[in-house]
Every structure is written in structure tokens, then in C-alpha cells.
Amino acid sequence: MNYYDEIKDVLVKNEIYKKVKDYSKNKSDLNAYFEVGKLIVEAQGGEERAKYGNKLIKEYSEKLTKELGKGYTYTNLSRMRQFYLLMQKLAPMAQQLPNLTWSHYSIILPLKNLKEIEYYLYISYKLNLSRRELRERIKSKEYERIGKNIKLEESKINTLIKNPILIKVKNKNEKLTEYALHQSILENIDDFLKELGIGFLYAGSEVKIKIGDNYHYIDFLLFNVKFNCYVVIELKVTKMKAEYIGQIMKYMGYVDKYIKEIHNDKTVGVIICKKENKYVMEYCTNPNIFVSTYQTI
């Protein structure tokens, strides 16, 4: 079998198809590059030998570039081989992501950890991330900040909240008050919601509530559409303290009683503080309260 001619034929047909069927050219790219990757692996003698068959890819790249033009560099053909091998390993959930482009895969393919790859494919699809947004999330080490044992298909709200949470401020070297931190989040509220995780919507800031004869203010009240619940956010510029748990529990109780609808799930509380205190959280019996630290950028 002449693998080079087969590969060339697949790529030529793909170029023709994209010109005629522009609306579905992304699917055509993915199908073509998958097939090319498969042929390269076969030409190299199988998956195990494919790991070491770089000489053949270089040869094919030089011939394709000469005959078909730009776009078939050694790196691109190597990515096609990686793409084919990756699709053999991905969970069914990650194999069916219709709005991802070859550009998305090209950014993700250099990653080594399969679970990390699945995570970035998943959020790219769920949040319809652009290539630039995807690069930024990988650069910020988002996967590492959510914990490496996450099971996306069984995810809970706390597994998608990162630690630390990155918050944009004007001067990251300046010591922040709670008010200044609050204002910085308000000024970049869209970025903050995306940083928190999937499905967060803004419901209010400094929400005034009355408990007994006293008025209190919830720093941020959010709603999560994925998990169908309100989320109370409390900001602290100090190390985590035990009294913060009691405070946020009161606010969560108020939201459950007076704000949430009967079809909504129980309210979740997130305390965002400067430093963690694992000893405090060991004695927190409420499973809907979570703690994360913040980092200014």
C-alpha cells in the first residue's frame, strides 16, 4: 500500500470539500486529519512504532509541501498523528464535541495528561471558548487549580471551583481591603464568573437582607444554572476563620427561606479568603460550604 498517495488523496479531497461545503469545513478537517493520522500510524508500522517514526513524517511533510503548498509541516502532520492516537483513548463524552475546531485540538494536543486534555476539551465545548480563551486557561494552569481527580460527567459544583481563584486588580502588589477586592471583582464581573466555573450568573452585589433586627449584606449572590442553585459568595482578605462559617450559614439559610424557589436545589456557600485553614474546615459539617483562596493578577 502506498501510504503517501493515500494521505495526499485524503488532504486533496478535504481542500476541495472545504471550498464547496464551507459551512461544514470544520467537520471535514477533523475527519480528514483523523484519517491522515491513522494512515501515518499504519505507515509507521502501528501505534508502538509510531512513537519513534519521525523520519517518515519529515519525508511526507517535505513532499506534501512541495506538491500541495503550505499547511503540511512536520509539526502539523505530527499533530494529526497525535489526534488519531488521542481519539482512541478519549472517553465517549470527550469524543463528541461538535463545536470544537482543529485549532482547539492543536492547542490541547501538546498536553501530556489525558485527564487534563479531557478537561480542556470539556470546558471548551461547554463554554464555547475561543482559541485565545482556551490558551489563557491552559496558561493559568486551570486544571491544576480544580484538582486532578475530577470526573467531569459526575462533577459537582465544588469540583469545578478553582483554588486559587484568579482575580483581576489594578495593582496586584497593593494590599487590598475587602472593599477594594469587592470593587475589583465588580469591575471585571464577567471574568470573575468565568473564573469561578461553569454556569454562574450574577444575581446581585452587597445584597441587603434582614435577620432578626439586624441588616446584613451578602458580598455576591450568584445563580448556577448547571446545578440549579443560588450561590452565596463571601470575600475575606485574611486567613480562614471559624466565624466565617457561621456567617455564611446564616446568609445561605436566608436565601433558602426567602429567595430560592421550591424547584431550586439548596443554596451553596463559597468563602474566598487570602489563606486556607484546613483545621477550621475539618469541623464544618455543612456539605454545601466550600472554601477557596484568591490570587490577584
Residue pLDDT, tens place only, 97-122 = 777 889 999 999 999 999 899 899 98
Q: How far apart are CA 184 and CA 181, in angstroms?
A: 5
In a domain, 107, yes or no: no
* 53 Cβ contact partners less than 8 Å away, ≥ 6 residues apart: 40, 43, 44, 45
CB atoms within 10 A of CB 125: 17
In a shared domain, residues 79 and 195: no
The mean predicted confidence, pLDDT, of the chain is 89
Map residue 53 onto helix, strand or coil.
coil
pLDDT at residue 244 tops 70: yes
What's the confidence (pLDDT) of residue 283?
83
Q: How far apart are CA 211 and CA 213, in angstroms?
A: 6
In a domain, 99, yes or no: no
In a domain, 126, yes or no: no
Q: What percent of the chain has pLDDT over 90?
A: 64
In a domain, 276, yes or no: yes
Pairing of β 214-224 and β 200-211:
antiparallel
What are the residues facing 217 on neighbouring strands? Answer: 208
Number of separate domains in the chain: 2
Domain boundary among 89, 104, 133: 89
Q: Prior bond to 164 cis, omega within 30?
A: yes
Q: Which residue matches cell numbers 484546613? A: 278
Total-model pTM: 0.79
Q: How many residues does the chain have?
A: 297
pLDDT at residue 146 tops 90: no
Q: Which of 191, 195, 185 is nearest to 220 (CA)?
A: 185
What's the confidence (pLDDT) of residue 294?
96
In a domain, 270, yes or no: yes
Q: What is the DSSP letter of 239?
A: B
Residue 35 belongs to domain spanning: 1-89
Q: How far apart are CA 73 and CA 200, in angstroms?
A: 41
Domain boundary among 89, 122, 139: 89
pLDDT at residue 228 tops 80: yes
